[in-house]
Amino acid sequence: TQLLEQSPQFLSIQEGENLTVYCNSSSVFSSLQWYRQEPGEGPVLLVTVVTGGEVKKLKRLTFQFGDARKDSSLHITAAQPGDTGLYLCAGHIYNQGGKLIFGQGTELSVKP
């Protein structure tokens, strides 16, 4: 059973389109992080959200943490080919120590 369900797993869109990636769980997370990973490299942190209902913006990327801290979303506006990569959500389940629980990842391809 996947503790953090991420969807969609694959997304292929044209430059300029908008997209949203979702992460859902039945568990409460004390924090949730979004990473981007390039082939052959480790994940690179994009943002950390901690408070239920929190919204953070990073240029064309908008991150939201659900009110109940069980879900999160990443929205990209006007996607560009440089946004292509693997996007991962990960979080700390409340009261379960320091390990991160990852979603399956979303492989995004933005075509020019």
Partner 1 sequence: DTGVSQDPRHKITKRGQNVTFRCDPISEHNRLYWYRQTLGQGPEFLTYFQNEAQLEKSRLLSDRFSAERPKGSFSTLEIQRTEQGDSAMYLCASNRFSGGNTDTQYFGPGTRLTVL
Candidates 1, 59, 82, 99; binder of partner 1 (CB under 8 A) is: 99
Residues between 4 and 63 with contacts to partner 1, criterion CB under 8 A: 4, 6, 30-31, 33, 35, 40-45, 48, 50
* Nearest one of 15, 13, 10, 5 to 72, comparing CA atoms: 5
Amino acid identity of 39?
Answer: P
Read off the DSSP letter of residue 96: S
Q: Coil, helix or strand for 81?
A: helix
Min CB(78)–partner 1 separation in Å: 26
Q: Which is nearer to partner 1, 59 or 99 (CB)?
A: 99
Q: Burial code of 33-44, b = ≥16 C-beta within 10 A, e = fewer? A: bbbbeeeeeebe
Question: Candidates 13-21, 62-70, 75-83, 93-101 — which segment interacts with partner 1 by CB under 8 A?
Answer: 93-101
Please tell me the distance from the alpha carbon of residue 44 to that of residue 110, in angstroms, as a whole number: 19
Instruction: List residues near partner 1 by CB under 8 A.
Output: 4, 6, 30-31, 33, 35, 40-45, 48, 50, 88, 90, 92, 97-105, 107
